Amino acid sequence: MTPPADFSTDLLAAALREMWGLDVREITYAPVGFGSHHWRVDARDDSRWFVTLDDYAGAGADVERGAALSSAFRTARALADSGLDFVVAPVPARDGAVPFELSRHRWVSMTPWLDAPRLPSPSEQTSADRHAVTEVLARLHAATPRAVGVAGTDDLALPERALLDRALAADLPPGAGPYGARARDALAEHAEAVRRALVVWDERAVRDRAERDSWVITHGEPHWRNVLSDADGLHVVDWDTALLAPAARDLWHVAGAEGVRAEEVLADYAALTGRAVTTDDLHAQALRWDLTEVALYAAWFARPHADDADGEIAWGGFTESLSSVGARESAA
């Protein structure tokens, strides 16, 4: 992501000073991840922080998105406070807010900066690496009682579903931007595969909703980019999608990675938890992930957008997700 054009570091420093009492020495933009903005903040007391701005301007339903973000971060805070040492949770502002609402559509959160490397990519991970992550997920899922009453519950709905359905019906004009017409044509090319995948996912969601009693607290995206490792063990970051949901929502990020023997990870998880998760469960979550990416990027390109680095990244994600939907749908 590139820095937001209408948001200055002076404004960020003022918010950090007012709401966290932080005397800022230096702010450096950190172009990591996609969908949020991040900075490394060095304070005059020599502390260092990872600061995030979530901006839902123009994305629609900003109040609901803000409420969901707050619930997810408060869940992470509750889990960390209960003793889960791997949870890297946001620090509450002076008024107790996690995150702090800067404006109607903007939220700021702050976590300690960790000088720890990410886990290796799945192709470079060892069985010990996968076991360590599986063990962390088992501990997280076992902590479900600590999250009840704080965490939101997964509705299994795809974001931007109404817009995606309109686009598939050719009832949506191309968005105002350089990728609008290209996105419309790419979606039309893959429309049949996406429609079939939506039917598969909708049927699966009905089954999963009937089993809510077995759901656990999930991180949502515990892939290798969100897991840091150092001498103290693993540290899981980026809790903005924490929800009560099927365990497979987390496990497919480990067991479903390319080149990984899913059965080994699932057997490891079953031994740790006594809970059975199947390869079909993983396939369903992988299909959901690709459909979510398709829907979110289709919405991006249906709205006014710029010809910039962010647009190029979004275009790559959109075309990659479209290409994999057919394979996911046939395997689920």
Mean pLDDT, residues 294-302 taken together:
93
- Is the predicted pLDDT of residue 121 greater than 70, yes or no? yes
Each residue's pLDDT tens digit, 167-195: 999 888 888 899 999 999 999 999 999 99
Q: Which fold has domain 9-112?
A: Phosphorylase Kinase; domain 1 (3.30.200)
Tracing tokens 């702010």 back to the chain, one arrives at 27
Each residue's pLDDT tens digit, 223-280: 999 999 999 999 999 999 999 999 999 999 999 888 889 999 999 999 999 999 999 9
- pLDDT score for 73: 96
Tokens for 145, please give them.
Answer: 């009682």
Nearest partner of 219 among 89, 125, 113, judged by Cα: 89
- pLDDT score for 331: 54
**What CA–CA distance (Å, rounded) separates 134 from 221?**
13
**What CA–CA distance (Å, rounded) separates 250 from 282?**
9
Nearest partner of 241 among 30, 73, 63, judged by Cα: 73
Tokens for 244, please give them.
Answer: 């009560």
**What CA–CA distance (Å, rounded) separates 167 from 187?**
8
- Cβ distance 244 to 156 under 8 Å? no
- pLDDT score for 60: 54
- Is the predicted pLDDT of residue 213 greater than 70, yes or no? yes
Tokens for 33, please give them.
Answer: 């991840």
**Residue 309 pLDDT class (50, 70, 90 cuts):** confident
Percent of the chain beyond pLDDT 70?
Answer: 95
**What CA–CA distance (Å, rounded) separates 174 from 79?**
43
Of 172-176, 208-212, 324-328, which gets the smallest average pLDDT?
A: 324-328
- pLDDT score for 1: 61
- pLDDT score for 330: 56
Nearest partner of 186 among 296, 328, 305, 294, judged by Cα: 294
Of 29-43, 65-79, 272-286, 309-323, which gets the smallest average pLDDT?
A: 29-43
Nearest partner of 72 among 56, 93, 89, judged by Cα: 89
- Is the predicted pLDDT of residue 133 greater than 90, yes or no? yes
Domain borders along the chain are 9-112, 122-331
- pLDDT score for 53: 92
In CATH, 122-331 is 3.20.20.80: no
Average pLDDT value for the chain: 92
Provide Rg for the chain, Cα atoms: 20
- Cβ distance 318 to 298 under 8 Å? yes
Nearest partner of 32 among 65, 2, 9, judged by Cα: 2
**Residue 6 pLDDT class (50, 70, 90 cuts):** confident
**Residue 57 pLDDT class (50, 70, 90 cuts):** low
- pLDDT score for 329: 55
- Is the predicted pLDDT of residue 332 greater than 80, yes or no? no
- pLDDT score for 104: 75
